[in-house]
């Protein structure tokens, strides 16, 4: 099956997925807003700023005109930073046909509204088939054909299976899951914990601290997720613990690298700017913190990272605060858990 795919956003992820899709034989139209980047990429066939060292296959066509790029595409893949999704979609909503499948691959939550990206898209394009694509996946590895797994989430089985068919290759294995909100929350909230993992590394802590952070981190993600309607099982899957592991342990992760600099003593803003690519966890921390207040869910790690990023709290003090919380049973705060009998 060969399709016409429009990829919106030529950052690292849009470029890596375009390469994978084009190797499968799809006609890929890669759109970018930056005219200079477009000219440079047309000449060099390389995305020097976001994914250097990888040559784009011939069947990736580069576009600067978004309306032209989406015209006739069967699948429209969103790979811009999550805070830009609404603006980009809004600007072309009159040109999108209602049978075009919209797939979001950004991992974040909208700042002011606290909406997930599927909810944003539902507001802008309520009649289009929709799916989310997420999972443990660094662009730097996907574009080099290193084995990777992803999950496509859609409330409609036929849509999920269509998207699975479009993306699956022997190097990129795609699973399906109907739990859209669980997939989105796992993908967005792991970035908060990855910032924390980086901070731990920057402070010079060891593997014990990171294991604790990841394990307690997925717990608080699941706690918020279950209150927001997610299937708790999703958090032990690829888009939950899987993505948490890859992001907290890899030097490819922008969130972790940003955290390392903060742990080493840089101001948050300076660390964010030095990365030069989107660090989704920063806004997500704020939204997650506000959601935890709204739903009255305890999220101690998120709260401490929020204080570091937005209230200039000291990272070492944050660790002390976490270690000195009032003692508790490991399992008792999971929502829906049976009362523990001793
Ligand atoms: N890089 C990865 O390995 C990876 C993997 C999985 C998911 N993601 C997710 O994909 C999303 C994009 O990440 P990335 O790594 O490609 O980021 P990036 O910083 O490499 O690129 C972001 C892209 O978004 C574009 N963009 C931002 N605002 C825009 C706007 N208003 N209009 C048009 N274009 C705009 C930028 O020009 C750039 O091309 C993020 O949500 C990220 O979490 C990234
Ligand atoms: O580089 P990061 O931290 O945005 O993480 C990239 C992907 O989300 C990992 O799955």
Q: Which ligand sits closest to the CA of 277?
A: 1
List C-alpha distances in Å: 122 to 90, 102, 239: 11, 10, 21
Query: What is the dihedral sign for C-alpha 166, 172, 178, 182?
Result: negative
Alpha carbon nearest to ligand 1 atom 38, residue: 11
Report the CATH fold assignment for 4-178: Rossmann fold (3.40.50)
- Ligand 2 centre to CA of 61 (Å) is 25
Q: Would you put residue 114 in left (φ > 0), alpha (ψ -120 to 50) or beta? A: left
Q: Which residues contact 39 (CB under 8 A, 6 or more apart)?
A: none
**Out of 217-221, 225-229, 297-301, 338-342, which region has the weakest mean confidence (pLDDT)?**
338-342
Q: What is the DSSP string of 318-331?
A: HHHHHHTSPP--SS
Rounded to two decimals, the pTM is: 0.97
105 by Cβ neighbours in 10 Å (0-12 / 13-18 / 19+) ranks as buried
- Ligand 1 centre to CA of 329 (Å) is 40
Q: How confident is the model at residue 331 (pLDDT cuts 50, 70, 90)?
A: confident
pLDDT tens by residue, 259-296: 999 999 999 999 999 999 999 999 999 999 999 999 99
Per-domain residue ranges for the chain? 4-178, 181-323
Alpha carbon nearest to ligand 1 atom 31, residue: 84
Q: How many residues can be counted in the chain?
A: 342
pLDDT tens by residue, 106-163: 999 999 999 999 999 999 999 999 999 999 999 999 999 999 999 999 999 999 999 9
Residue whose pair of structure tokens reads 């307690």 in the numeric block: 216
Residue range 181-323, CATH number: 1.10.1040.10
The ligand 1 atom at the shortest distance from the C-alpha of residue 33 is 33
């Amino acid at each position: 099956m060969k399709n016409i795919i429009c990829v919106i956003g030529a950052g690292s992820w849009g470029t890596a997925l375009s390469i994978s899709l084009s190797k499968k034989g799809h006609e890929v139209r890669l759109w970018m807003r930056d005219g200079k980047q477009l000219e440079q990429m047309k000449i060099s066939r390389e995305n020097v700023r976001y994914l250097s060292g990888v040559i784009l296959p011939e069947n990736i066509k580069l576009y600067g005109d978004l309306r032209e790029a989406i015209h006739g595409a069967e699948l429209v893949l969103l790979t811009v930073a999550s805070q830009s999704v609404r603006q980009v979609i809004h600007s072309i909503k009159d040109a999108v046909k209602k049978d075009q499948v919209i797939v979001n691959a950004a991992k974040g939550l909208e700042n002011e509204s606290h909406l997930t990206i599927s909810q944003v898209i539902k507001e802008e394009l309520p009649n289009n088939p929709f799916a989310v694509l997420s999972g443990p996946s660094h662009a730097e590895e996907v574009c080099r054909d290193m084995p990777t797994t992803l999950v496509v989430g859609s409330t409609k089985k036929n849509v999920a299976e269509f998207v699975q068919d479009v993306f699956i290759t022997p190097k990129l294995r795609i699973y399906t899951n109907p739990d859209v909100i669980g997939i989105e929350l796992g993908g967005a909230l792991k970035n908060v914990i990855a910032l924390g993992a980086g901070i731990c590394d920057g402070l010079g802590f060891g593997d014990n601290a990171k294991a604790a952070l990841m394990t307690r981190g997925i717990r608080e993600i699941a706690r918020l997720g279950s209150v927001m309607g997610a299937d708790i099982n999703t958090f032990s899957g690829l888009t939950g613990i899987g993505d948490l592991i890859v992001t907290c342990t890899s030097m490819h992760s922008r969130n972790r690298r940003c955290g390392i600099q903060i742990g080493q003593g840089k101001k948050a803003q300076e660390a964010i700017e030095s990365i030069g690519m989107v660090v989704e966890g920063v806004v997500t921390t704020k939204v997650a913190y506000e959601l935890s207040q709204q739903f009255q869910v305890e999220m101690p790690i998120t709260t401490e990272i929020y204080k570091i990023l937005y209230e200039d709290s000291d990272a070492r003090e944050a660790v002390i605060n976490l270690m000195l919380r009032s003692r508790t049973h490991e399992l008792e705060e999971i929502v829906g858990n049976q009362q523990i009998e001793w």
